[in-house]
Amino acid sequence: MSGRRKILALLITVAATIALGVSAYLTWVTWQSGTVVGCTAESLLDCDDVLASRWSKWFGLPVSLLGGLTYLAILGLCWPAAHRPNGVAMSGLFALALLAAGAAVWFVGLQTIQLQSFCMYCLTVHCCGLVVGVLTLLLYVDKSGSHDYDQMRSLLGVADADFEDDVTETAQGPSATQLLASLLFAAVGLAALMGGQLLSVPDETMVMEAVEFQPLSIDSSEELVADENPIDEGPTDGGQMVIATDLPSGSAVDGGAFENEPDTVASIFGTGPRQVVFRALPESIDVNSMPLMGSTEAPHVMLEMMDYTCDHCRKLHPHLHAALQRYGDQLAVLIHHVPLSKKCNQYVKKDFPGKKNACDYAQLAIGVWKLAPEKFPEYHHWLLESEKIPNIVKARRQAIRLVGEAILLEKKVKAETTKRLAKQATTFNRLNSGLPVLLFADGALRGVPDESQQLFDYLEATLGIEAR
């Protein structure tokens, strides 16, 4: 084997090994329903949109599994092919390398055009696939002999006739028939991959899983609520003002800063402040200080971290809506908006096309709540009830219909909303999680259930709640 062929084989081995390792990791994460390291909702590359899409599966199997098997086969054929370039191993390696490179082009195209989101792990595999394809092509067309020492023996006339024929065949490389077979295999494999993904039933649900977040503490150098002039976090208009003077003893905010200062409006509905504590958050929350789905007097309150432009959040909404209808006044959901856009979320590094108006939707929703809290549930449901979010123009019109032109003209509302969103982004960022997340007093759920009954079972087992 010539030195050049050894180098090419070594480089193919390195690239295929990297691709195999990453593919194996993605397959394991998929089967374990785990979270991919470094892929939070606010990361530069939006992994969840890619890994939870229909294009991540082939008839229910993770495509990373298929990729891993392909690269495992490439590793097995690489050195035999380099040693004997006219043999079956070379034909098999060339076919698999073409398949890997073609699949890389297919998946990068899907991420660019269809999903408009990118997964760094997937891109690593695809880059390795393209590298393997190019290196294998160079190995395929290389004319250097595979047995330099034995070729020298042949030239000196000390090798037998059969070996001379073998050397001549080796120097010539694969036959036209072998080339055609390799091309046909790669074409059929690519057609099966693309056709299978187009024909298989879409499955874009994110598996619901119970998670445990460590209690957060407020760092003195980066307080969540450090402001000399705290804003009014409650509704801007409405009924009886109730002064919050007594905090629950032993709560997360006992003796410290909390979201509503004593002069904050408690609720348009005339109820007093009610602090609820979530283990994952550094401070308790007054149920009157955030948009709420359900009754302020509900004995069980959970908090949803969500974004209107998040596909998984939209898929979770009908299950939450069904739970609220099933349990009535026993259950309420606080809405913690986390728009995934750098326009109002300082932790987002890049705006993806589908999320460019995320801040606008959140600001409109919070604006509706501030101006007319009783209208918020209707607007929130309207934004989430369809598969795709309404365009921003329709969203503004709907908000105006509910609360009037003030939602577009009230500068104070917009300023307070901007500050609120920045603060809530900090809280979410500290959890190092993806969306959506449901927080309970002592636990949390992440992801989307396959059906509402899964959520019902969890709530009834965890909260002891019963259908009304």
Helix intervals (H) in 200-242:
none
Q: Can you give the pLDDT at residue 288?
A: 93
Q: Is there a domain that residue 204 lies in? A: no
Q: Is there a domain that residue 148 lies in? A: no
Same domain, 127 and 229: no
Same domain, 364 and 249: yes
Q: Is there a domain that residue 330 lies in? A: yes
Q: Which two tokens stand for residue 406?
A: 């003030």
Q: Is there a domain that residue 160 lies in? A: no
pTM, entire model: 0.56
Same domain, 299 and 323: yes
Same domain, 284 and 190: no
Q: Long-range contacts of range 363-366, CB-CB < 8 Å, 24 or more positions apart?
A: 363/414, 363/417, 363/418, 363/421, 364/395, 364/396, 364/399, 364/407, 365/291, 365/308, 365/335, 365/337, 366/291, 366/337, 366/417, 366/420, 366/421
Reduced to 3 states (helix: H, G, I; strand: E, B; else coil), residue 175 is coil
Q: Is there a domain that residue 459 lies in? A: yes
What is the domain-level CATH number for residue 178?
1.20.1440.130
Same domain, 89 and 45: yes
Same domain, 25 and 136: yes
Q: Can you give the pLDDT at residue 297?
A: 93
Same domain, 293 and 195: no
d(CA 116, CA 297): 42
Q: Is there a domain that residue 21 lies in? A: yes
Structural domain boundaries enclosing 49: 3-142+174-199
Same domain, 232 and 251: yes
Q: Is there a domain that residue 45 lies in? A: yes
pLDDT string in tens for the chain (468-residue length): 788 899 999 999 999 999 999 999 999 988 876 667 776 555 555 576 788 788 889 988 999 999 999 999 999 999 999 998 888 999 999 999 999 999 999 999 999 998 877 888 999 999 999 999 999 999 998 865 544 445 445 545 555 544 444 444 444 556 788 889 999 999 999 999 999 998 875 544 455 666 666 655 444 333 333 333 333 334 433 332 222 223 233 333 333 333 333 333 343 444 568 899 998 898 899 999 999 999 999 999 999 999 999 988 999 999 999 999 999 999 999 999 999 999 999 998 877 767 889 999 999 999 999 999 999 999 999 999 998 899 898 999 999 999 999 888 778 888 889 999 999 999 999 888 888 999 999 889 988 888 999 999 999 999 999 998
Query: 85: buried, middle or exposed (CB in 10 Å: 19+, 13-18, 0-12)?
Result: buried
- The phi, psi pair for 437, rounded to 5°, reads -130, 135
For the chain, what percentages of helix, strand and coil (3-state, to nearest 5) are there? 55, 10, 40
Same domain, 24 and 137: yes
CA dihedral sign, ordered 426, 427, 433, 434:
negative
Q: Please tell me the total count of domains within the chain.
A: 2
Same domain, 184 and 241: no
Same domain, 393 and 450: yes
Closest to 341 in 3D by CA, of 371, 310, 319, 384: 310
Residue type, 92: G
What is the domain-level CATH number for residue 320?
3.40.30.10
Q: Is there a domain that residue 420 lies in? A: yes
Farthest-apart Cα atoms in the chain, separation: 108
Same domain, 180 and 220: no
